[in-house]
Amino acid sequence: MSNFSDPSTSDRPFVNIAYIGGGSRYWARDLMKDLALQARFDGEIALYDLDHDAAKKNVEIGTRIFAREEAGCSFKLRAVHTLKACLRNADFVVISIEPGDTELRYADLVIPERYGIIQPVGDTTGPGGWLRALRSVPTFATFAHAIMDICPDAWVINYTNPMTLCTAALYEAEPDIKAFGCCHEVFGTQTRLQRMAEDSFGMKGLTRADIHVDVTGINHFTWITSATCHGKDLMPLVREKLQDPATLADRTRPARKRLREGKVFESDGLVALDLARRFGALACAGDRHLVEFVPWYARDRKTLHRWGVVCTSYEYRMKARGGEDPDVDTYDQQKMNPTGEEGVRQMEALLGIADLDTNVNLPNRGQCPDLPPGAVVETNAAFRHNALTPLTAKAMPPGARTLVRRIVDVQGMTLRAAMNRDLDAAIQALYCDPLVTIPTDKAAEMAKEMIGHIRPMLTDKRMRPPYPTEAVCG
């Protein structure tokens, strides 16, 4: 019986999950924890990773997790050597990969900074997001073809950045694929709004789920046009907060403290509020991402720190990659708490167990009326039994729409260039990126250097992204 048959007439579902990037230290293990803490379906997870040993370790870890007393379900795990073996009989396909070795992030982050372009994250837009897309898009096209050949009815959940372009590549390669992209950045803004509601209205015991927001835009450059909590409008609270001169005060000292303490993922939400002040809608991604779409916040490190934002440096990322991985035994002892991610809840909704409305990334079929049709956008959507329906978002204010539209156009150029393996077209897209404020001859020089650094990966047959050996870049 299909796992997507009527849940009122079927037994407890047994679900096959294919995990591409199954050696992940973060996403894969968090998914296994969330799966273990639910008691509505059982199943099997096939873990596929180019690092097969990492996938095998996750089998050991997952086995410990599902053996815990708190586990409410039973899941088998196996590490597989091929994508085909991973996808066979899959009901859900989860993708969370690093497109190439972490060392390739040198080209994303360090080379652009030598040309004066600062990127706190460098995985979505700007030169770093651009180069990461060139590495990712052809690989995702390969995934899409394999999925439609082996498990065409499976639902595909993408966690990989650049979220917009990876999700777009799946649909560009296979328009009938059932894929969506998931990001938790909106959740942080909902949590901030929750605290504002608690403080202003005296509400106690609220959770993020009590905050209902209208979301529109693109991943990491999303905007909230309305927000309510049990019928109370929260947007006046945002405007009231902006009346306080201390709200947008200089955050240089906290930023430098974060650097000293290695808390590079923290920020104050200051950029989101400043964008709300200037454009009339609340930006609802983390400040580290937001500053990469609007160059005036990231002119240099001094300006970045004024807004409380610090960079996750290449050195930090390399150190984290080489850091000690917890022993398998640790997963017998750690307290198991829900991660706050929604992957398992999305699966439950698609299985017909419980409905869910949440923000996801999907091609624009009218849900974002002020952005181009077909472009991957982020809005709320209704997860129901074997169905995912995007919900129409309110229009963005004109200024916000103009900022987002430029990014959409650049992303479209990058997608087409990456799908066609056309480096010259890709470099034109780089010229158009808002963060690339340097002269075009310098941008071309930077592009050559960046591409040269990742050349081995661009010709790695395992990743399937063959590009020409040279580009005009002039």
Q: Which helix (H) or strand (E) holds 287?
A: helix 287-290
**H helix runs in 47-184, sequence order:** 52-66, 83-87, 105, 111-114, 126-150, 163-173
Q: Is 250 helix (H, G, I), strand (E, B) or coil?
A: coil
Residue 253: count of CB within 10 angstroms of its CB: 10
Measured in whole angstroms, how far is the alpha carbon of residue 413 from the centre of its chain?
A: 20
CA 464/CA 326 separation, integer angstroms: 32
Residue 30 has phi, psi (to 5 degrees) of -65, -40
Q: Considering just the CA atoms, what is the radius of gyration of the chain in Å? A: 22
Nearest CA to 93 among 41, 42, 10, 17?
17
Nearest CA to 253 among 306, 313, 310?
306
Residue 81: active-site member? no
Measured in whole angstroms, how far is the alpha carbon of residue 326 from the centre of its chain?
A: 25
The half-sphere exposure of 158 on its side-chain side, counting CA atoms within 13 A, is 31
At position 15, the amino acid (one-letter code) is V
What are the distances in angstroms from CA 401 to CA 126, 271, 364?
A: 19, 17, 15
How large is the greatest C-alpha to C-alpha distance in the chain, in angstroms?
65
Please report, in angstroms and rounded to a whole number, the separation of the first and last CA atoms in the chain.
58
Catalytic residue among 52, 81, 145, 184: 184
Q: Could you list the active site residues?
A: 184
